């Protein structure tokens, strides 16, 4: 187990009072598995992913990542966990438009202050892993949606994080690209990563080791 929520809730202040987005959620994310988090729009699944990604603190309950209780950490220590322990894959790819594919991948390594030699080596390795070496010098606008998502996966993977978090990673892809991306995420889980995928698409359940459903901020079902 590399991450867990214990009776975690997230509440925001709104003009009409307190808005509870997550309510008493408990779950675990294990190394070597692909966990699917399913729910309709507005169900709270992205907030759940944001908690696991150390982007926000729980209002109540406990969040643990890699053995650390996140509730007690400073913002700087939270940022260090995001950089070193967690890789993010987003629906809209979030690649930097002015950088080539390989420079987008290398960006987190530069933030970690690795040497140029190490950056080149690790960038090469992940480009090969997602079968994108021939596209390394292209800008994001020169890549298809599926190719951009594979570069985004490589960027998430290059720091060798224990956790890969994906927010609707296939929503912008055609059917063929969807299968390619999910096969790669499944392989990452089989290689020992803890992979969590948020989606509203039940077709992705065939790739999952476990599924949880969330509705109105409550985890309502767990499927093994």
Q: What is the DSSP pairing of strand 60-65 with strand 68-69?
A: antiparallel
Count the Cβ atoms, other than its own, within 10 Å of residue 183.
11
Residue 193 has pLDDT above 90, yes or no: yes
The stretch 94-103 carries a mean pLDDT of 96
How much is the pLDDT for 223? 66
The answer to whether residue 123 scores a pLDDT higher than 90 is: yes
pLDDT at 163: 96
Would the pTM of this model clear 0.85, i.e. be above it? yes
Token pair in block for residue 139: 């800008």
Helix spans in 41-135 (H): 45-52, 75-85, 101-111, 116-129
More confident call, 52 vs 224: 52
pLDDT in tens, 142-159: 999 999 999 999 999 999
């Amino acid at each position: 187990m590399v991450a867990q929520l214990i009776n975690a809730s997230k509440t925001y202040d709104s003009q009409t009072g307190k808005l509870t987005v997550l309510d008493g959620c408990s779950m675990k994310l294990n190394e070597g598995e692909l966990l699917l988090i399913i729910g309709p729009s507005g169900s709270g699944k992205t907030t759940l992913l944001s908690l696991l990604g150390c982007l926000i603190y729980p209002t109540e309950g406990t969040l643990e990542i890699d053995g650390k209780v996140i509730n007690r950490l400073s913002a700087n220590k939270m940022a260090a966990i995001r950089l070193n322990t967690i890789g993010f894959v987003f629906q809209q790819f979030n690649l930097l438009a002015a950088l080539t594919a390989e420079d987008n991948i290398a960006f987190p390594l530069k933030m970690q202050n690795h040497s140029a030699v190490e950056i080149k080596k690790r960038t090469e390795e992940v480009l090969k892993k997602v079968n994108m070496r021939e596209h390394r010098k292209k800008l994001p606008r020169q890549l298809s949606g599926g190719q951009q998502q594979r570069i985004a996966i490589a960027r998430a993977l290059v720091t060798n994080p224990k956790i890969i978090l994906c927010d609707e990673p296939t929503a912008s892809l055609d059917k063929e690209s969807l299968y390619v991306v999910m096969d790669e995420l499944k392989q990452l889980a089989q290689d020992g990563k803890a992979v969590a995928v948020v989606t509203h698409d039940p077709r992705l359940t065939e790739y999952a080791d476990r599924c949880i459903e969330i509705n109105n901020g409550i985890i309502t079902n767990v499927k093994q």
